[in-house]
Chain A
Amino acid sequence: GESVGLHLPTLSVQEGDNSIINCAYSNSASDYFIWYKQESGKGPQFIIDIRSNMDKRQGQRVTVLLNKTVKHLSLQIAATQPGDSAVYFCAENKGAQKLVFGQGTRLTINP
């Protein structure tokens, strides 16, 4: 069954605010997670990944936090822009292209 799940199916934020998208997982042995962005009509696009030996990883305007104690990870997008509108998925990478996706959160940016 599904081993990762997102908390909210939709999220609306004001342009310029920070966005936080949450995800929970069930297997304490899970050790590699990836966040994907999917725009309408397109395949998933890699955003950032994190392994279980890290608590935090930063990219350009994005930060992923991993809390292994409560089996929770989050994606933070700073200064949200209209181009950030998309569906965001967390996924567990089980190796050899075996990805287990959560259901996704649709992020809407209000002007």
Chain B
Amino acid sequence: NAGVTQTPKFQVLKTGQSMTLQCAQDMNHEYMSWYRQDPGMGLRLIHYSVGAGITDQGEVPNGYNVSRSTTEDFPLRLLSAAPSQTSVYFCASSYRGGRIQETQYFGPGTRLLVL
């Protein structure tokens, strides 16, 4: 298993540009989520999904869209990038029925800079 993969690793955008951060997992996990981490801060939940076709907002959803058309993929879309979205983005997945320490995986992160 590759675990949770995120692409790209780094990205520089200009204000107003759009892009999609990719997240994929090959463990057949029901739960997937997106977090952002600003310097010196903990992670904050953007959006999450409890299964294919189901998504919901987290703590900081504004400016981001998600969809979950398959179990494996959970892309995060920035519709019109703003400097305030400069951050490191982490994707996570877990199996619904398992203990979190045995089933939760974080991706390596995507570092995004918006100029």
Contact surface of A with B, Cβ cutoff 8 Å: 9, 34, 41-46, 48-49, 89, 91, 93, 96-104
Tell me the complex Cα distance, A100–B106, Å: 15
B residues engaging A (CB < 8 A)? 31-33, 35, 40-45, 48, 50, 58-59, 90, 92-94, 96, 100-101, 104, 106-109
Q: Is the CB of A97 within 8 A of B101?
A: no
Query: A43-B90, A91-B43 are known contacts; what are 17 more A-B pairs with Cβ within 8 Å?
Result: A41-B108, A43-B106, A43-B107, A49-B101, A89-B42, A91-B42, A97-B32, A97-B48, A97-B50, A97-B92, A97-B104, A98-B48, A98-B58, A101-B42, A103-B40, A103-B41, A104-B40
Give A102 Cβ to nearest chain B Cβ, in Å: 5
**Which residue of chain B has the shortest Cβ distance to A34 in the bound complex?**
B100
